[in-house]
Chains A and B, each alone.
Chain A
Amino acid sequence: MPASPLLALTHFMTLAILLVPLVISMLTTKVWIIEKTKTSVKTAFFTSTLSFLLFKLSPPLSVVMDYSLLSASTFHLKLNLKFDLYSMLFTPTALYISWCILEFSQWYMDKDPYPSKFTKYLLTFIMAMMILVSANSPLLFFIGWEGVGILSFFLIAWWQNRPNTNTSALQAIIYNRMGDIGLISCLAWLTTRLNTLALQKIFTCDDFITLLPLLGLILAAMGKSAQFGLHPWLPAAVEGPTPISALLHSSTMVVAGIFLLIHMHPLLTLNKYALSACLLLGAITSLVAAFYALTQNDIKKIIAFSTSSHLGFMMVTVGLDQPQLAFLHLSLHAFFKAMLFLCSGSIIHNLNNEQDIRKMGGLHKCLPITSACLTIGSMALAGTPFLTGFYSKDIIIETMTTSHLNAFALLITLIATSFTVVYSLRITMFVQTGQPQHMSMLLLDEYNPLVINPIIRLAAGSIAAGLIISMNITPLETLPMTMPMYIKTVTLVVVALSLLMALKLAAMTNKMPPKSSHTHNFSNSLMYFNTMIHRSTPMITSTISEKYSTRMMDSTWQEKMGPKKLAESQVLPTKTTSSLQKGLIKIYLTSFILSILLLTYLFY
């Protein structure tokens, strides 16, 4: 019997299981709600694994469901859901990570006064993400997109009495909105020119799609996935609680932009300019974010920039015409990035909310499990052979070096890979080795299973998930099999060389007093991008709107030159004339002058 109805059933069961704690959280505000949510997310994870296995066993590569919402004569609005490899594989990954994060947040947020609100927001976020990944029409996708955007805003601004937090949340919303313009314009373009919004039907219109909707999609990915140009919100988003950073801004929400490009890949393939744009944009993002991460001092910011760099890397893969590899990197990256964030959360909480790495040290002995997992995560990030990151990163770089592409993009991606190692080493050196720089009377412990179990689970994922997931994907194209030796080992060589160089530099300069240089300041202040853009862009807009729109057009041309001037110019003659008509006899007698002058003039 065909497994497709069963597939749909299990997927909907997953969603229904996720709805239960949402309803409960609206009815109660007790603190045990997070534990119940964790249990339900765990159950949903197992259910979604079941549906993935069903998907693997069943013959069709994808299942599409059409449910008609609105039927006009020419336009039919349907609730399209698509269960293909991407949504079926992403759901268990996202739920696994959400499970670990919810367990962690039982410990991290245990003194929080609003646990049910937290649960509500998190569950709504997960539901929106599920809608996003299983959407078959851009309209439904947009609903999920907006959902994750607004929930990100709520969750970043969790501790809303800090002014920095409010600014960051506002930044997130504004930059996401600028990306939304692209998505909405693409949606509008498609709606006005095609009579359907179902993806499988859009993909058949090969010769019809021009560059404009694709640029809209790339803009949307720029906004949501923090590519260079619309990137400042991602490092600012670390103002939110660490579980939120781990879920939203490393694994799930920021990949929504890349997910859009992966889903719409058949459209992107048609236009080589769009692909080149993706490639170069991704490469620049990758390099710039890694450059920023080299000199940051806040541990969460370094990991956020690392996320941004890997998002650029995923964009490069999309630009290489390899959506499956991008998706692979997306799912695998989620594991170790979430783990890195959770380790940093454990460190921060144990050091009494200290986030500056210059004030940490020697945690190798004090928090052994956390630091071990931090090391595993850093190694997976750098692409150490046969850990998780290797399965996606190495293949992507191999594909890059064997394809016909822009050499500049290739070069800067390799440089970004080397920077990855350097900043991971920086975290490891500052946090784990050396003498402790933190306060003396701190009680560091990691005996709470709520902390350890999620981190260890994600570490297991970081090690094994690469193999498991890449075995279960049927590749759409043949991977590059033969290449020269120096191409095959380029990642390894780059990583090893940069590691050695960084170690040597650190050893040489460790005992010297710190001296700031121009490059260091440039990198630390984020290339002054925030300083320039956050002041100048609103200033330009305000100046234009004040000088030109309000003062010149509205006030001057339409008020003072037109009606008001007319009214003003009537006043003086009116005053003069009305003074003549006060009814005084004197004035009437004065008008005799006129007749006499006339007489004189006429007769003489």
Chain B
Amino acid sequence: MTPLHFSYLSAFIVSIMGLSLHRTYLISTLLCLESMMLSMFIALSMWPIQLQTSSFMLTPMLMLSFSACEAGTGLSLLVASSRTHGSDHLQNLNLLQC
């Protein structure tokens, strides 16, 4: 694969790793989510340029708007959880009731 492909693929993988293997704070999850979104944005932008398919030139824009929504949702979840649990430590988020 070309270095360009490799770069945004590896960025995606690294940010997914960061999402799963974080330690303490929920906000690092959200940051990794953003970086995943970023790498996908770059990938989506590069793809119609390289393949000269002009009908897909709109997709990065759609991607961006959806990611803004999800970022907002994520942040609101963070705020809600820190309101109920007192902090955003991941240890507090437990499915069990006891």
- Are B96 and A596 in contact (CB-based, < 8 A)? no
- Are A593 and B95 in contact (CB-based, < 8 A)? no
- Chain B CB within 8 A of A518 CB: no
Chain B residues with CB under 8 A of A590: 20-21
Could you name 14 residue pairs across A and B whose Cβ atoms are closer than 8 Å? Answer: A582-B96, A583-B94, A583-B95, A584-B91, A584-B93, A584-B94, A585-B93, A586-B22, A589-B19, A589-B20, A589-B29, A590-B21, A592-B16, A596-B17
Restricting to A480-530, which residues have a CB under 8 Å from any CB of B?
none
Chain A residues with CB under 8 A of B63: none
- Chain A CB within 8 A of B13 CB: yes
Given A583-B96, A584-B94, A585-B93: A600 and B20 interface contact (C-beta under 8 Å): no
- Are B93 and A586 in contact (CB-based, < 8 A)? yes
Interface string of A574-586 (1 = CB under 8 A from B): 0000000011111
Interface size class of B (residues with CB under 8 A): 10 to 19
Chain A residues with CB under 8 A of B96: 582-583
- Chain B CB within 8 A of A541 CB: no
Question: Shortest beta-carbon distance, B98 to chain A, in Å?
Answer: 9
Bound together, the chains give a CA A585 to CA B16 distance in angstroms of 16
List the A residue with the shortest CB-CB distance to B93. Answer: A585
Bound together, the chains give a CA A592 to CA B36 distance in angstroms of 14
Chain A residues with CB under 8 A of B95: 583-585
Known: A596-B13, A596-B20. 19 other contacts (CB 8 A): A582-B94, A583-B94, A585-B90, A586-B22, A586-B90, A586-B91, A589-B20, A589-B22, A589-B29, A591-B20, A592-B16, A592-B19, A592-B20, A593-B17, A593-B20, A593-B21, A596-B16, A596-B17, A600-B13
Residue of B17, B20, B94 most packed against chain A (CB within 10 A): B20
Please report whether the interface of chain A is mostly helix, strand, loop or mixed according to DSSP.
Answer: helix
Chain A residues with CB under 8 A of B19: 589, 592
List the A residue with the shortest CB-CB distance to B26. Answer: A585
Chain A residues with CB under 8 A of B94: 582-585
Chain A residues with CB under 8 A of B21: 590, 593
Task: Kindly list the 10 A-B residue pairs having the minimum CB-CB distance in the complex, ordered from nearest.
Answer: A583-B95, A583-B96, A585-B93, A592-B20, A586-B90, A583-B94, A593-B20, A590-B20, A596-B16, A589-B20
Interface string of B14-52 (1 = CB under 8 A from A): 001101111000000100000000000000000000000
Bound together, the chains give a CA A589 to CA B90 distance in angstroms of 11
Question: Shortest beta-carbon distance, B34 to chain A, in Å?
Answer: 16
Chain A residues with CB under 8 A of B20: 589-593, 596
Question: Shortest beta-carbon distance, A600 to chain B, in Å?
Answer: 7
List the A residue with the shortest CB-CB distance to B90. Answer: A586
Chain A residues with CB under 8 A of B93: 584-586
List the A residue with the shortest CB-CB distance to B97. Answer: A583
- Are A584 and B13 in contact (CB-based, < 8 A)? no
Residue of A585, A590, A592, A600 most packed against chain B (CB within 10 A): A585
Question: Shortest beta-carbon distance, B29 to chain A, in Å?
Answer: 7
Bound together, the chains give a CA A583 to CA B93 distance in angstroms of 8
Question: Shortest beta-carbon distance, B4 to chain A, in Å?
Answer: 16
Bound together, the chains give a CA A600 to CA B19 distance in angstroms of 16
Question: Shortest beta-carbon distance, B43 to chain A, in Å?
Answer: 14
List the B residue with the shortest CB-CB distance to A590. Answer: B20
Chain A residues with CB under 8 A of B91: 584, 586
Chain B residues with CB under 8 A of A582: 94, 96
Bound together, the chains give a CA A543 to CA B74 distance in angstroms of 73
- Are A584 and B90 in contact (CB-based, < 8 A)? yes
Bound together, the chains give a CA A469 to CA B54 distance in angstroms of 142
Bound together, the chains give a CA A494 to CA B72 distance in angstroms of 127
